[in-house]
């Protein structure tokens, strides 16, 4: 039997049963009420008759009694009256009763015997109410009065109740059937049919991302699990394809699987530890629920795939509003939440610590110091003290984690932890420590303005390996060391020797996971122009061309310059007005710092000033979407855009440029890239621009829009080849290999007990 019929029949049986029981109880109670009414009326009539009839008895006037009884018996609802003597013998009865009375009714016998009124409802159809009352003269029982009333009214009322309840049941039944069919179709059979189709799609190798996710909250948990399974399946397929490809390509390509194997061999059973300020997964309170998000920024984009692949422990600042509630007593949580692959240990900071270490020293001091964007660094003693304190706090946590581990590999991330290598090596000289500096390193003159430059350099030079994105930043660093510290800088092999510690300084250009392999054009089932149409429709915009920018909102990213370039382009090439829209996906960042807060206002004001004179009902030049956008949303924009603009004024690498390339499986789209982003060293097929030159940027937008489609495709193919080959797995493999093979002096290679 189909589920719908089974459901309907069960609901009907239950509804009918409930209706029957309730109607039966209602009928019983109504019957009793009506019976009581009859009893009361019979009581009143009986009492009024008793006195007159007693008088006739006393006077022995049987003829008058007969006439009286006849007359009385014609009253409404009263079928008749009869009078019996004390022996139960009928004395008189109204004519209307002739043929209805048994010789002596039971009720009369009972009344005479007990000398008490007796009443009862008789008959199954055409019910009648009968009542007998004793007649006494001077305390002596003389006989009984028998009243016979028409009670068919009770039957009619009770029938009416059964009838109306039956009609109600019919109506309910109809509604139940209709509702059940709708609910079952909408929430169960429909989604199941979708899931079936969806799973068939998976089995036949269609990409899960391209299929419509089945609706229906009943099936939500199942859908989530199946989605994960689908992802794993497609990852397994992709990795199998990759393996085959790697074999064919002479094992030149780095993949997640190859990195896992490689790290396993290099580590030889030792653990891999990552320390960063930003955590890869943040738990945030959203109303009454908790949401897990991946923060914006290149560091997380690059490192999460590595730990997913190799496992290990990641120590980071727990800055999400619901982070404390989601970890165990050690501050640990297994991540990613849906398919745990590694452990995240969160370090919680006080307001003062966060203010001084993160906002103050790191982001108002070192950040503008290292990015040449003409924002003055601010250094304060308090911030410096908090910076040292927080570095110690992270060092304590890491030392606790590596307590029992011999020669663990520690990868420290970024400018927040310049002192950490020193703090770790002081206690654990056997640990192999690398620090990767994700931002540019300035020349010695610029770095020299930092009041604590030597302390920062001491801290960094305790590491066995220091990584930058480019050789240029390595050179700046070595020159800085040369200028400010007593040490031996080896320019022939890019290293520094100081107090017996050797530190290698190497470029490792960071990247993203490689683009998924596309076997055939049929795999790209959604065309870029369809995606573009959908996106613009959602934004309420009609436009032929879509340009996109994706950033943390930061003054180093050149967002204002980009807006001005759009404005200049529309002035210079007015035929594009109404036909080109630039969408900026900006994730608010560090807004607690005045410079960032002001930047936000400045950006909004600029967008408004550019849009206002040009915009129409359905079009505007710039759409500024300020929010934390998920990777999925960002990917939709990347895949729909005609142009992606990365116009950083200064940037260590900039992974947006690489993410855009990685997402263009269709080999369409043009990348406009700042010459001041590290990515420009590798992505030579982008249109490389100077973000300070608004004319050049406007012209490169024009060049991109008018570029021959063949050239667009060829450039994108070359860019994809670079991103595919120099992917993040290769980055990680190079760092791990270099670190694992660093020579650590024997005397210091001991585990602290
Ligand atoms: O680009 C430098 C960097 O520190 C990255 O390493 C990181 O992803 C990004 O800035 C994010 O900054 P924050 O963590 O301050 O939001």
Q: pLDDT (tens digit, 9 = 90+) per residue, 31-43?
A: 888 888 888 888 8
Report which protein residue has its CA nearest ligand 1's atom 6. 299
Cα→Cα distances 40→37, 47, 71, 158, 433, Å: 5, 11, 22, 20, 102
pLDDT, tens digit, for every residue of 161-195? 999 989 988 898 888 888 888 888 887 777 777 77
Report which protein residue has its CA nearest ligand 1's atom 5. 299
Indicate the pLDDT class of residue 205, thresholds 50, 70 and 90.
Answer: low
Indicate the pLDDT class of residue 211, thresholds 50, 70 and 90.
Answer: low
pLDDT, tens digit, for every residue of 645-684? 999 999 999 999 999 999 999 999 999 999 999 999 999 9
- Give me the CATH topology for the region 528-726: Rossmann fold (3.40.50)
Where would I find the H helices in 331-378?
351-353, 367-370
Indicate the pLDDT class of residue 125, thresholds 50, 70 and 90.
Answer: low
pLDDT value at 750 more than 80: no
- What is the C-alpha to C-alpha distance for residues 441 and 130, in angstroms, rounded to an integer? 112
Indicate the pLDDT class of residue 515, thresholds 50, 70 and 90.
Answer: confident
pLDDT, tens digit, for every residue of 374-400? 999 999 999 999 999 999 999 999 999
Q: Is 678 in the pocket of ligand 1 (CB under 6 A)?
A: no
Indicate the pLDDT class of residue 64, thresholds 50, 70 and 90.
Answer: confident
Q: What is the mean pLDDT of residues 541-547?
A: 98
User: Measured in angstroms, how far is the CA atom of residue 196 from the centroid of ligand 1?
Assistant: 42
Name the CATH code of domain 256-507 (choices 3.30.360.10, 3.30.1490.20, 3.40.50.2000, 3.30.420.40). 3.40.50.2000
Task: Supply the mean pLDDT for the chain.
Answer: 89
The pLDDT of residue 385: 98
Position in ligand 1 atom list of the atom nearest CA 413: 6
Indicate the pLDDT class of residue 250, thresholds 50, 70 and 90.
Answer: very low
The pLDDT of residue 204: 65
pLDDT value at 213 more than 80: no
DSSP 651: B
Report which protein residue has its CA nearest ligand 1's atom 10. 297
The pLDDT of residue 36: 87
Q: Is 440 in the pocket of ligand 1 (CB under 6 A)?
A: no
Q: Is 590 in the pocket of ligand 1 (CB under 6 A)?
A: yes
Residue among 544, 631, 630, 609 nearest 581 (CA): 544
Three-state secondary-structure class, residue 689: strand
User: Measured in angstroms, how far is the CA atom of residue 36 from the centroid of ligand 1?
Assistant: 86
Report which protein residue has its CA nearest ligand 1's atom 11. 297
Q: For 270, how many CA atoms within 13 A lie in the half-sphere containing its CB?
A: 21
Cα→Cα distances 707→440, 572, 668, 691, 696, Å: 33, 18, 11, 21, 16
The pLDDT of residue 217: 66
User: Measured in angstroms, how far is the CA atom of residue 560 from the centroid of ligand 1?
Assistant: 20
The pLDDT of residue 198: 73
Three-state secondary-structure class, residue 653: coil
Residue among 365, 361, 360 nearest 377 (CA): 365
The pLDDT of residue 257: 86
The pLDDT of residue 239: 61
The pLDDT of residue 524: 63
Q: Is 588 in the pocket of ligand 1 (CB under 6 A)?
A: no
User: Measured in angstroms, how far is the CA atom of residue 147 from the centroid of ligand 1?
Assistant: 101
**CA distance from start to end of the chain:** 70
Residue 595, Cβ density class (10 Å: 0-12 exposed, 13-18 middle, ≥19 buried)? middle
The pLDDT of residue 298: 73
Report which protein residue has its CA nearest ligand 1's atom 8. 297
The pLDDT of residue 726: 95
Q: What is the mean pLDDT of residues 558-566?
A: 98
pLDDT value at 536 more than 90: yes
pLDDT, tens digit, for every residue of 135-149? 888 888 888 998 888
Q: Residue ranges per domain, the chain?
A: 2-155, 256-507, 528-726
What backbone torsions phi and psi does residue 254 show, to the nearest 5 degrees?
-85, 130
User: Measured in angstroms, how far is the CA atom of residue 555 from the centroid of ligand 1?
Assistant: 13
To test the pocket of ligand 1, the residue of 279, 417, 438, 655 to mutate (highest count of ligand atoms within 8 Å of its CB) is 438
Position in ligand 1 atom list of the atom nearest CA 363: 15
pLDDT value at 467 more than 60: yes
Indicate the pLDDT class of residue 445, thresholds 50, 70 and 90.
Answer: very high
User: Measured in angstroms, how far is the CA atom of residue 634 from the centroid of ligand 1?
Assistant: 18
pLDDT, tens digit, for every residue of 351-366? 999 999 999 999 999 9
Q: Is 317 in the pocket of ligand 1 (CB under 6 A)?
A: no
- What is the C-alpha to C-alpha distance for residues 584 and 599, in angstroms, rounded to an integer? 14
Q: Comparing 103-107, 454-458, 718-722, which segment has the lowest mean pLDDT?
A: 103-107
- What is the C-alpha to C-alpha distance for residues 629 and 616, in angstroms, rounded to an integer? 27
Task: Assess whether the region 2-155 and the region 528-726 belong to the same CATH fold.
Answer: no
Report which protein residue has its CA nearest ligand 1's atom 13. 278
For residues 438 and 477, the answer to whether their CB atoms sit within 8 Å is no
Q: Is 303 in the pocket of ligand 1 (CB under 6 A)?
A: no
Q: Kindly report the CA angle at 251 between 246 and 257, in degrees rounded to 5? A: 65
- Give me the CATH topology for the region 2-155: Beta-Lactamase (3.30.450)
Indicate the pLDDT class of residue 727, thresholds 50, 70 and 90.
Answer: very high
């Amino acid at each position: 039997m189909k589920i719908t019929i089974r459901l309907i029949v069960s609901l009907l049986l239950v509804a009918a049963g409930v209706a029957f029981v309730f109607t039966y109880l209602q009928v019983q109670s109504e019957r009793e009420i009506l019976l009581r009414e009859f009893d009361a009326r019979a009581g009143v009539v009986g009492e009024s008759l008793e006195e007159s009839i007693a008088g006739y008895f006393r006077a022995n006037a049987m003829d008058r009694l007969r006439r009286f009884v006849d007359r009385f018996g014609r009253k409404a609802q009263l079928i008749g009256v009869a009078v019996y003597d004390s022996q139960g013998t009928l004395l008189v009865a109204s004519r209307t009763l002739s043929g209805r009375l048994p010789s002596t009714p039971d009720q009369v016998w009972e009344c005479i015997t007990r000398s008490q009124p007796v009443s009862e409802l008789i008959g199954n159809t055409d019910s009648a109410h009968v009542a007998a009352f004793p007649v006494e003269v001077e305390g002596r029982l003389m006989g009984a009065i028998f009243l016979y009333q028409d009670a068919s009214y009770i039957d009619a009322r009770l029938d009416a109740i059964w009838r109306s309840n039956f009609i109600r049941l019919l109506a309910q039944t109809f509604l139940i059937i209709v509702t059940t069919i709708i609910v079952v179709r909408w929430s169960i059979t429909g989604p199941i049919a979708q899931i079936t189709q969806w799973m068939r799609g998976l089995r036949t190798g269609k990409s899960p991302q391209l299929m419509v996710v089945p609706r229906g909250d009943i099936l939500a948990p199942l859908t989530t699990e199946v989605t994960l399974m689908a992802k794993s399946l497609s990852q397994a397929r992709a990795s199998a394809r990759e393996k085959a490809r790697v074999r064919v390509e002479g094992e030149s390509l780095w993949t997640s699987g190859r990195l896992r194997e490689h790290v396993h061999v290099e580590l030889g059973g030792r653990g891999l530890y990552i320390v960063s300020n930003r955590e890869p997964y943040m738990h945030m309170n959203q109303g009454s629920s908790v949401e897990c998000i991946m923060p914006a920024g290149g560091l997380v984009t690059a490192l999460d795939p590595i730990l997913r692949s190799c496992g290990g422990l990641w120590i980071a600042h727990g800055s999400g509003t619901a982070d404390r509630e989601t970890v165990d007593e050690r501050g640990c949580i297994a991540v990613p939440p849906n398919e745990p692959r590694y452990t995240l240990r969160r370090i919680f900071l006080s307001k003062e610590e966060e203010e001084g270490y993160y906002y103050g020293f790191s982001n108002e001091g070192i950040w503008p110091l290292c990015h040449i964007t003409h924002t003055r660094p601010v250094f304060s003693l308090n911030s410096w003290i908090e910076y040292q304190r927080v570095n110690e706090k992270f060092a304590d946590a890491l030392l606790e984690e590596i307590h029992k581990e011999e020669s663990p590999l520690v990868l420290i991330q970024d400018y927040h932890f310049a002192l950490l290598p020193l703090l770790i090596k002081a206690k654990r000289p056997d640990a192999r420590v690398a620090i990767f500096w994700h931002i540019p390193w300035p020349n010695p003159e610029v770095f020299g303005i930092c009041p604590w430059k030597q302390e920062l350099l001491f801290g960094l030079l305790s590491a066995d390996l220091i990584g930058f994105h480019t050789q240029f930043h390595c050179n700046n660093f070595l020159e800085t060391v040369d200028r400010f510290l007593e040490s031996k800088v080896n320019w022939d092999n890019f290293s520094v020797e100081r107090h017996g510690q050797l530190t290698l300084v190497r470029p490792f250009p960071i990247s993203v996971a490689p683009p998924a392999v596309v076997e055939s054009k049929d795999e790209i089932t959604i065309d870029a122009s369809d995606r573009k149409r959908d996106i613009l429709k959602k934004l309420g915009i009609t436009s032929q061309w879509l340009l996109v920018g994706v950033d943390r909102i930061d003054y180093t990213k050149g967002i204002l310059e980009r807006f001005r370039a759009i404005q200049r382009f529309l002035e210079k090439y007015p035929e594009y007005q109404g036909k080109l829209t630039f969408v900026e996906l900006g994730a608010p960042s560090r807004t607690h710092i005045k410079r960032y807060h002001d930047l936000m206002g400045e950006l909004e004001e600029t967008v408004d000033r550019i849009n206002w004179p040009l915009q129409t009902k359905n079009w505007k030049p710039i759409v500024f979407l300020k929010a934390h956008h998920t990777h999925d949303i960002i990917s939709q924009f990347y895949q729909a855009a005609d142009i992606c603009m990365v116009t950083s004024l200064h940037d260590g690498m900039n992974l947006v440029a690489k993410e855009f390339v990685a997402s263009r499986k269709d080999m369409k789209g043009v990348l406009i890239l700042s010459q001041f982003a590290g990515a420009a060293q590798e992505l030579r097929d982008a249109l490389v621009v100077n973000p300070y030159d608004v004319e050049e940027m406007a012209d490169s937008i024009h060049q991109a829009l008018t570029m021959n489609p063949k050239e667009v495709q060829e450039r994108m193919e070359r860019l994809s080849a670079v991103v595919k080959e120099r992917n993040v797995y290769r980055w990680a493999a190079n760092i791990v290999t270099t670190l694992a093979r660093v020579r650590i002096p024997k005397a210091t290679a001991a585990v602290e007990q």
